[in-house]
């Protein structure tokens, strides 16, 4: 379990740098995160540790991390009234990065759980970034229609990140809304309850921590959502499942998700780099995810690819040809499968 403890150190570094270095100090935690993830791409092996799916102790990390992340957000809101613009923005941005990376990875893992208590804890974490409807769209739409145009969270070939963000934010909300309208009575509609809870959270933030506290909360939530959608953007960019003349969608395969096989990076991001296995077995616990050699590999891991995605022309120059080469290479296997 110690191998997966880096998120705790990075979350703690936000506050350590704030105390030691002042207003802009928390930004060093983001630099440290990038240094670890990017540095690991050059020094750590690409291998798979043994699967440990049956060991429930690994779930304990999320039971601890989620309260710590939420407590950090609350502490930042309380402190916001005493901060100048630089101090407020640097702390909100840094905590937003941690929420979007580690808080979101924890929430994602928990909402996939078979245990209702874990799903509830994951939803509480999503409340800390005002993105509760994610759990509905992700599970009922993304995992069913990934790599098709029916999934708003799949980035199309040639689509830049900023255009994707403008499309996916309302798209995923509407997907969640449609699912709830089909499955539940209006008074049970979880999207409506999510909106009500978001309003309560923002109202409480304003009343208890003032305008600065509310602004702090919204900034870190926006940053967290943007980081999450960067993950989504690079995870399936340009990959597609074929649809036949009768409208039948090609079965989901390992080749429909971009992966990162770096051993150290996967310890830091709870094995999310083994994304293909997650899609084939969504309920498996993170420590049991395995490397799939037939899956496409991101050119610079998730961290490097996310940075590249922030510059759409560079991203397309690298990734569009990579997608096309991979699709051509995979064509014989696709025909054989048919």
Domain coordinates in residue numbering, the chain: 2-337
What is the model's pTM? 0.94
Q: What is the spatial distance between Cα 257 and Cα 323, in angstroms, rounded to a whole number?
A: 11
Place of tokens 């083994």: 274
pLDDT, mean of residues 97-123: 97
Report yes or no: 180 and 141 within 8 Å, Cβ to Cβ.
no
Report yes or no: 258 and 236 within 8 Å, Cβ to Cβ.
yes
Report yes or no: 112 and 125 within 8 Å, Cβ to Cβ.
no
pLDDT at residue 325 in the model: 85
What does pLDDT average to over the chain?
Answer: 92
Res. 56: pLDDT tops 80: no
Res. 52: pLDDT tops 70: no
- Tens-digit pLDDT profile for residues 288-306: 898 888 899 999 899 999 9
Q: Which range has the worst mean pLDDT, 60-64, 116-120, 136-140, 299-303? A: 299-303
Place of tokens 């309260």: 67
Q: What is the spatial distance between Cα 52 and Cα 287, in angstroms, rounded to a whole number?
A: 6
Q: Residue 240: is it exposed, middle or buried by C-beta count within 10 angstroms (0-12/13-18/19+)?
A: middle
pLDDT, mean of residues 36-59: 72
pLDDT band per the 50, 70, 90 thresholds, residue 132: very high
Q: What is the spatial distance between Cα 147 and Cα 85, in angstroms, rounded to a whole number?
A: 41
pLDDT, mean of residues 50-56: 61
């Amino acid at each position: 379990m110690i191998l997966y403890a880096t998120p705790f150190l990075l979350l703690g570094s936000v506050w350590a740098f704030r105390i030691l270095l002042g207003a802009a100090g928390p930004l060093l935690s983001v630099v440290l995160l990038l240094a670890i993830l990017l540095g690991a791409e050059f020094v750590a092996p690409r291998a798979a540790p043994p699967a440990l799916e049956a060991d429930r102790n690994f779930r304990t990390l999320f039971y601890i991390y989620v309260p710590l992340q939420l407590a950090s957000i609350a502490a930042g809101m309380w402190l916001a009234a005493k901060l100048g613009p630089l101090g407020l923005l640097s702390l909100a941005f840094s905590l937003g990065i941690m929420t979007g990376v580690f808080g979101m990875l924890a929430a994602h893992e928990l909402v996939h759980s078979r245990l209702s208590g874990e799903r509830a804890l994951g939803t509480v974490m999503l409340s800390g970034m005002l993105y509760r409807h994610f759990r509905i769209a992700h599970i009922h739409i993304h995992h069913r229609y990934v790599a098709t145009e029916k999934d708003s969270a799949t980035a199309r070939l040639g689509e830049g990140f900023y255009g994707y963000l403008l499309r996916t934010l309302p798209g995923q909300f509407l997907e969640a809304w449609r699912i709830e309208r089909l499955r539940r009575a209006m008074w049970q509609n979880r999207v409506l309850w999510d909106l009500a809870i978001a309003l309560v959270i923002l109202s409480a933030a304003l009343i208890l921590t003032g305008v600065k506290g509310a602004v702090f909360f919204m900034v870190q939530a926006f940053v967290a959502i943007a980081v999450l959608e960067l993950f989504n953007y690079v995870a399936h960019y340009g990959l597609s499942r074929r649809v036949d003349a009768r409208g039948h969608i090609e079965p989901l395969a390992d080749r429909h998700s971009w992966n990162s096989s770096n051993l150290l990076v996967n310890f830091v991001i709870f094995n999310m780099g083994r994304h293909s296995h997650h899609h084939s077995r969504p309920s498996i616990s993170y420590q049991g995810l395995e490397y799939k050699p037939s899956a496409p590999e991101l050119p610079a891991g998730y961290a490097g690819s996310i940075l590249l995605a922030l510059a759409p022309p560079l991203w397309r120059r690298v990734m569009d040809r990579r997608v096309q080469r991979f699709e051509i290479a995979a064509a014989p296997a696709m025909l054989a499968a048919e």
